[in-house]
Structure 1
Amino acid sequence: MASTSSPLLSVQARHRLHATLLAAVSAAALNAGSARAEEVTTLPTITVEGQAERANGPVQGYVARQSASGTKTDTPLIETPQFISVVPRAQMEDQSVSTVSGALRYTPGVVPEVRPTSGRYDSIVLRGFGGGGTDANYVNFLDGLRVARGINYLVPTIEPYGLERIEVVRGPASVLYGQINPGGLVNLVSKRPTAEPYREINLQFGTQARKQIGFDLSGPADPEGRFLYRLTGLYRDADTQVHHTHEQRIYLAPSFTWRPTADTSLTVFGKYQYDPDGGFYGLLPALGTVTPSPVFGRIRTSFFAGEPSYERYSRHLASIGYAFEHRFNDVWSVRQNLRYVDAAQTFGTSSIASVVGSTFNRRSVYSQERLRSLAVDSQAEARFSTGALSHTLLFGTDYQQGISDTGYGVGTAPPINYLNPFYGQAIAMPRLDWTDQYQRQLGFYAQDQIKLDRWIFVVGGRFDTAQNTLTPRATGQRTVQSDTATTGRAAVLYRFDNGIAPYASIATSFEPTGGMTFAGEPFRPSTGRQYEVGVKYQPDGWRGLVQAAFFDLTRQNVLTPDPAHIGFNLQIGEVRVRGIELEARGEITENLQVIASYAYTDARITRTTNLASLGKRPVTVPEHTASLWAKYAVLDGVLNGLSFGAGIRYTSATAGDAANTLSVPAYAVVDAMLSYDFGRSRPELKGLSLQVNAHNLFDREFVSGCFAAMQCAYGLRRTVTAGLTYRW
């Protein structure tokens, strides 16, 4: 399918082009009538002015040139001394993704579907950090602001149909974003109102009874273009690969932009997302998935270990916010981004606790949760020179607040026999213990991007205060944990004339850690420190970007079991990750677009009280990942309008337990797409296109990851979708 990007030429640009062409034709005609035959007529130069790419705007094809996620300023990627990947709208459409995790399948250093779902959560492993439970690294930044999560299972996700691009910032990023996982962050960038009219409607059908309809309407609301609107919506209904589970989503995202002057803009964003059914999210034992059981062999990927009458996951999310920007003069400008979120969730499941022969003993969990959060980020930017130095100076303060309450209970459930499963057994609702939580964080940061000839320097620092208050309703005893942290970054890049740009950087991060030691002392924040050296390549005249980086990342103050007090932890653990990451994106020819990536990740537990895991690899972290995606478009001839693409994703073996005694085998998966633009050969059908996608084309059955012997997940089996889109 074609990208939803705005037309390459604005209305004003087209008027300028038409005027220039008219002048050229008129001059040529006059000269032809009056000049002698032997004289040569020189025509005026024709200049085409197009819309420049914005950091939060559409991308032409697969290669972005600008980004703000790494610096919070509109900066060319070639001048950003950090490895940042951008997944644009065109790639998401070509690969027909329905989750953010799925959109990251061809991104180096990211393991996006260790515990895959049909849309419940987007949890990733990034530069060796992430996984499940308390170590889960959820995708939780939208338009540069954190999307807060609840205490237990209330973790918001964002529908990718409402996104313009997805940006992966690797390594510690606390200087700009505060408390964050040291592996990095994924920033989702929303679709915004467009100055050019854009209208789209699409229908999609597929395997597992999939049905989907989406629409995207945008354009100016007045002749002067001071008021712009956009309305994006989607409805999806589908089964999943696991029996007795279902997925359903309703999504609506209105937005409105007011531009009273060329120097001032205000965009208001609204989002409503309701997931009546959250699909599957169960785990299975390693015996029967990673290795066959001598009693029952392999567990089917479609096997449902719960009870249909008890299983549920529903989630509401409503948000309202704005992005304001005003430019005072050539030096100073200010920005403020704000978002308020109200979310709720209900969750019930029965899961496998142990295996005896072919009998699976189960336990039940039930949870209800509500969350209200506010996030605001205020920035002042100054662009000026001091002698030979050019500065982009950024000052900012951000504030985050979250109020959540959850009822959580664990109970028993009757066992189920895998060889003769019987559903319909009654499960008693466990008693819910209610807890209230109040979180807040206040941060102050400053950053200077300095240019000296071809040298680019970035320095920044931040101070944070964070507080977390937990109050169990049963006791009313309040636990308050307060933390402060100072983080920094420094980087340098040199941009050669030939498009090569080597760089080096150092950055730190912090992340609060909940809980206390046996002695009652609250845990300190875990900290991260990273050294990175890399090189980028983007020559003039070629739409492409090649990046390579080596990094050394250490996380300290990691929780590790207290050997003297069972059930408690000490904070002396350490994890070290070193690796190499490569990514190449580009238009090889006018017809061919390619994405290639590779990552080598050497992750080790370097300090712990659990001697069995000392020096071992953390669970779910592969040593090697690689991917290749290519799309070819036929631009002439009888097949004009036909496009086809294919990709392969490889993940090496991973550890399935802390002692590395369980190994999850490597796997490779193939994807494919075929599309046809009817308007290329039939002008009366302009805007109509058909696309077919297959994920896991050869239906490879594999285990995507294990967190322990009783916690393994199957990867996603083959899915095929066919979509019809009309744009006008």
Structure 2
Amino acid sequence: MHAQSVEPVLPAVVVTAGDQRDTGYNARATSTATRTDTPLRDTPQSISVVTAAEMRDRSVQNIAEAVRYVPGVSFAQGEGNRETPIIRGISSTGDFFIDGIRDDVQYYRDLYNIEAVEVFRGPNAMIFGRGATGGLINRIGKQANWQPLYGASLTLGSHDNRRVTADINQPINDVAAVRITGMYENSDSYRDGVTLERSGINPTLSWRPSSKTLVTAGYEHFKDDRIADRGISSYRGAPVGTDRSTFFGNAKGSPTGTELDAVSASIEHQFDNGLVLRNRTRWSTQDKFYQNVFPGAVNAAGTRVAISAYNNATSRDSLFNQTDVIADFQTGPVRHKLLVGMELGKQDTTNFRKTGYFPGNVTSVNVPLSDPTTNLPVTYRQSASDADNSSKSTVSALYVQDQLELTPQFFVIGGLRYDRFEVDFRNNRNGQTINADDHLMSPRVGVIYKPVPAASIYANYSIAYQPRAGDQLSSLSVTNATLKPEKFKNYEVGVKWDMASNLTGSLALYQLDRTNVIVLDPTDPTNTRTMLADGQRSKGIEIGLAGNLTSAWSVSGGYSYVDAKMLADTSATIRDGAELGQVPSHTFTLWNRYDFSPMWGAGVGVIHRTKMLASTEQVATASNAYPNVTLPGYTRVDAAVFLTLSKSLSAQLNVENLFDKKYYINANSNTNITPGAPRTFRVSLNAAF
């Protein structure tokens, strides 16, 4: 995101490389959901693909922007230092992948080197392994190819927005090609004191030693420095009344930065008998530091707000290797597409946290709510509970999947994955070591019936697990190390319909159950003993639409309904039936582009969301009369005008939040709430050579 963990806010002039409107808004297939090239219509799962054409038309530059019009997906605040999607009521900081390989470190991902963003809803551990519990987000990277392209981009806008990108693709000869994508951005924000500086470069090489073999390799260096913005506080169940630009805490004292290096390589070969062998490897290393001076609760009189501070340093080295063998064959009348694969991986992680102490050796100070900032000096040192740990995790996985065509109308897909996931965790403060060794069996079964070739009706059942080490491999403790992993079980039925040559609609109904959750023992009157039980259920409907209503009218969007609640008492204040935080019951989105002529076009987008809680619902207590904070619902309108000047040059004006609606986009807690951006203009010039 441009300068903090909110939706984009900066008017911009953008020059982008390559006109990809011929791909449209409608992706027809994916090679990620099943690890085989499969039409979306024949994949028994709710999937949305944000194409390059749509991202360009909406001037998308990051993940949250890309999925803004995808039904059933939202983003939490992430404390201003990371992306935190919420899919089907489940939040995660680690369910990110690139080209099907895990990319689970915490940072803000740029899209300068990305062709498309895929959103998979529902558990998908059979393909992706641990996590992938409510769903996941996969990016498709730009690779070198044999079509010459020379492009560059320049972004200038309000709030001192400055961004430049480049995309150069050059065939060397008939068997080799190189591509280099790069970007640099230096921007401010509508939020006081919030800044962003980031850069990235990603060269790739493609080599065809034979007509049936493709080798690719790439390297990315990415750096992101910004101010961690944790928004505003709340008072008596609602966000405090303040200007949306007001920073709570100390912006200058809240730097966050990440530096990422990643090397990827793949080789794919098709044998004469049709057998396909594919091997992919990704190595990455990340160093991250974040510090925040941020708001807490407002006092009972509504006059002062608490300010606290801490910082955290994290590093992670990751190495993953995947090998797939794909065979197409027939047994009698049944056609098979069989996948057999193996994944090996290891990750080394360190965490070191310090608490901020203000003058007087206190960890919190109160400042006037009318001026909720502080320039008091802060000293950082470890408190008794601050993390100083390291972990080494390894995964060894085997999986098999068969896609069976029983008749031209009836298909079955079934798969099973076995993971051995082991974590060695060390508390460096006391030398204590903990080992967790999980053996996970993740099945998926889907049935597809096609009454006509252009439509499918499907049913799907899948299971995924979240080991006790958590998203970021740092949650192990003596009390939870021996507990079974959390289990996520998904039941889903749906319909997919290619309504026209370039228009697809989808409908999914699902129930997602989260079990093996630590809850209070109902037989214990002291509320101190815990047990594992069914802890959460999400039920809902998702409707999607993408493609062209006519040759001139492109659309993308949908509707989602989610009912996400707790199924047991998980604490003294979070009880059975509690509503989950940051999950609106109803969301409607629709983006349109209409081309009036070969030269002129216009776009209109509508986002409607009903109210939601900032965090999971709690019961009131004597000490907390207002335990729940509601973020009001809103309707936001976006607009655009497009001008095609020539085959290689076009211009566009994007206006976000056209009617300057005041709203709240997301939160991290009841006292960390992000106001939505004001009306924002972008002027873009797109060129390719």
Q: CA deviation at 1:710?
A: 2.3
Contact 1:140 1:156 in 2 (8 A): no
Equivalent-residue separation in structure 1 for 2:530 and 2:303 (angstroms): 35
Mark the CA change 1:521 to 1:252 in structure 2 (over 3 Å): closer, same or farther. Answer: closer
Mapped contact 2:297–2:671 kept (Cα < 8 A): yes
TM-score normalised according to structure 1 size = 0.84
TM-score (norm 2): 0.89
Q: Contact conserved, 1:229 with 1:255, CA < 8 A, in 2?
A: yes
Q: 2:581–2:617: 8 Å Cα contact kept in structure 1?
A: no
* Aligned residue runs from structure 1 range 676-687, under 5 A: 676-679=643-646, 686-687=647-648
With CA pairs under 8 Å and 6+ residues apart, which has the higher RCO, 1 or 2?
2
Larger radius of gyration: 1
**Structure 2 residue identity aligned to 1:248:** E
SS of the residue aligned with 2:65?
Answer: helix
Structure 1 unaligned blocks of 5 or more: 8-57, 131-135, 150-154, 293-297, 680-685
Q: Give how far 1:705 is off.
A: 3.5
Contact 2:434 2:478 in 1 (8 A): no
Instruction: Tell me which of 532, 536, 544 is aligned to 1:583.
Output: 544
Q: 1:2–1:521: structure 2 CA closer, same or farther, 3 Å change rule?
A: closer
Q: Distance in 1 between matches of 2:206 and 2:481?
A: 49
> What does 1:416-495 correspond to in 2, within 5 Å?
416-420=367-371, 423-431=374-382, 434-454=388-408, 455-495=410-450
1:439 to 1:116, Cα distance in 2 relative to 1, 3 A: closer
Letter in 2 for 1:74: D
Amino acid at match of 2:331: T
3-state SS of 2:234 partner: coil
Superposed CA RMSD in Å reads 2.4
The 8 Å contact of residues 151 and 168 in structure 2, kept in 1 or not, is answered as yes
Which residue, 621, 632, 635 being the options, matches 2:594?
632
Offset at residue 354 of structure 1 (A): 3.0
Query: Are 1:87 and 2:45 an aligned pair?
Result: no
Counterpart residue type for residue 654 of structure 1? M
Aligned position for 1:671: 638
Q: Match for 2:57: what amino acid?
A: D
**Cα drift, residue 170 of structure 1:** 1.3
**Structural mapping, 1:442-591, within 5 Å:** 442-454=396-408, 455-497=410-452, 499-514=454-469, 522-539=482-499, 542-560=501-519, 570-591=531-552
Q: Does 1:196 align with 2:147?
A: yes
Amino acid at match of 1:547: S
Contact 1:290 1:703 in 2 (8 A): no
- CA apart distance, 1:477: 1.4
Could you say which residue in structure 2 is the equivalent of 1:104?
Answer: 67
State the 1:271 CA deviation.
0.9
Query: Percent identity of the aligned residues?
Result: 25
**Bigger helix share:** 1
1:430/1:717 CA distance change after superposition, 3 Å: farther
1:300 counterpart residue number? 243
* 1:116 positional shift: 7.4
CA distance in 2, matches of 1:266, 1:370: 30
Secondary structure of 2:53 counterpart: helix
Quick check: 1:501–1:536 contact (8 Å CA) kept in 2? yes
1:343 is displaced (CA, Å) by 0.7
Equivalent position of 1:271 in the other structure: 220
**Aligned twin of 2:204:** 255
- Superposition pairs for residues 691-702 of structure 1, below 5 Å? 691-702=652-663
Which runs of structure 2 are paired with 1:371-382 in the superposition (5 Å)? 371-382=316-327
Q: Per-residue deviation at 1:158?
A: 2.4
Secondary structure (helix, strand or coil) at the match of 1:474 reads: coil
Q: Give, in angstroms, the shift of residue 80 of structure 1.
A: 1.3
Instruction: Give the structure 2 partner of residue 415 of structure 1.
Output: 366
Distance 2:497 2:654 in 1: 32
Find the aligned partners of 1:398 and 1:644 in 2 and give their Cα distance: 46
Q: Secondary structure at 2:451's aligned position in 1?
A: coil
Instruction: Compute the displacement of 1:439 (Å).
Output: 1.4
Structure 2: tracts of 5 or more residues without a match = 1-13, 359-364, 470-474, 619-627
Cα deviations by residue, 1:291-318 (Å, 9 ceiling, x for unpaired): 55xxxxx122211222244221011001
**Deviation for aligned residue 1:576:** 1.0
> CA-to-partner distance for each residue in 1:638-693, whole Å, 9 max, x for gaps?
xx4222101011111112343364332111111112221211xxxxxx41222221
Out of 299, 307, 310, the residue aligned to residue 365 of structure 1 is 310
What's the CA shift for 1:98?
A: 2.0
In structure 1, C-alpha distance between the alignment counterparts of 2:477 and 2:282, rounded to whole Å: 35
Q: CA deviation at 1:516?
A: 6.5
Query: Structure 1 pair 245/419, CA: closer, same or farther in 2 (3 Å)?
Result: same
2:176 aligned residue: 227
> 1:2 and 1:351 mapped to 2: Cα distance?
36
Paired residue type of 2:456 = A
Alignment match, 2:608: 650
Q: Are 1:518 and 1:568, in contact at CA under 8 Å, matched by a contact in 2? A: no
Greater Cα offset, 647-656 or 443-452 = 647-656
Q: Give the 5 Å matches for 1:593-632.
A: 593-610=554-571, 612-632=574-594
Offset, 1:544: 1.2
Q: Give me the whole-angstrom Cα distance separating, in 2, the residues matched to 1:451 and 1:125.
A: 34
Spell out, residue by residue over 1:324-357, the C-alpha distance to the aligned partner (whole angstroms, 9 max, x if none): 1011123311101110001101111112233234
Q: Which letter maps to 1:678?
A: L
Instruction: State whether structure 2 residue 258 is matched by structure 1 residue 315.
Output: yes
Paired residue for 2:165? 214
Deviation at 1:517, TM superposition (A): 7.8
Confirm whether residue 241 of structure 1 aligns to residue 190 of structure 2.
yes
CA distance in 1, matches of 2:19, 2:156: 27
Distance (Å, rounded) in 2 between the aligned partners of 1:658 and 1:687: 50
Q: Using the TM superposition, give the Cα deviation of residue 566 of structure 1 relative to its aligned residue in structure 2, in angstroms.
A: 8.2
1:262 Cα offset (Å): 1.1
Residue 569 of structure 1: how far off its partner (Å) = 5.8
- The amino acid that maps onto 2:639 is A
